[in-house]
Amino acid sequence: MHRWRSLLAVLISAFLLPALAGCAVDQLYANRAGASTDIQERLSAAISRNGFRHTLRSERDDSHHFDTIHISVPLDSLKRRHYSLDNLLKEVGRICALPEYSAYPIFIELGANDEEDRLFLREALLRGAGEKANIRISAAVADNHIAIVVNHRDKPLH
C-alpha cells in the first residue's frame, strides 16, 4: 500500500510540476510583453503585429499626456482591402474601446484620397470600436494614413 502511495505521489509530481512551470512562464511573458496598460504601448504593439510602420510622438506637460500615433497605409493594401489592414483597424478600435480607456478623449483621423477608401477605413474601425462617446473618428481627403491622438492625464478620472 505504501508503495502505491509513493508511486501515486511521483505521478502527480510528474504532471503537476510542468503545468506549474508553464503557468509561471506564461505569466512572465504576459508581464513582459502584452500586459502593458498604457494605451499607446498597446496600440503600438497591435500596429507592429499587423505589419504596419508607424511613429509615436508623446508630448507631456504638468498633468496631461498627448500621444500621437501616425500609421502610413500603403496604397496597394488599401485598394486591395488587405486582411492585415482590416485586422489592424478592428484591433485598434477594440483597444480604444476598452473600459479602462473610457475616460480618455481619443481622436482618430482616417486619410484617403478616395471616398470609397475612407468609408472602408471608417467601417472597419467601427467594427472594432463601436459607438463610444470618448472616440471621435473623422475621415479626411489626404494621403493614405491613420492618425490616433490620445489625450490623458497621469491617472484617468472616473
Among 28-32, 54-58, 109-113, 122-126, name the one with the lowest average pLDDT.
Answer: 28-32
pLDDT reported for residue 13: 58
pTM (2 d.p.): 0.71
Alpha-carbon span 146 to 46, nearest angstrom: 14
Residue 97 DSSP code: T
pLDDT reported for residue 31: 44
User: What's the chain's average pLDDT?
Assistant: 80
Q: What one-letter code names the amino acid at 77?
A: S
Which strand (E) or helix (H) includes residue 142?
none
Looking at per-residue pLDDT, the higher value among 120 and 22 belongs to: 120
Looking at per-residue pLDDT, the higher value among 153 and 129 belongs to: 129
Show Cβ contacts of residue 39 under 8 Å, excluding neighbours closer than 6 positions: 67, 95, 96, 101, 104, 106, 150, 152
Every domain of the chain and the residues it spans: 1-35, 39-153
If you average pLDDT over residues 99-109, what whole number do you get? Answer: 93
pLDDT reported for residue 74: 84
Which strand (E) or helix (H) includes residue 91?
helix 83-96
Q: How far is CA 153 from CA 69, 112, 138, in A?
A: 17, 31, 23
Residue 37 DSSP code: -
At the top level of CATH, the class of 39-153 is alpha beta
Q: Match 470609397 to its residue by C-alpha cell.
A: 116
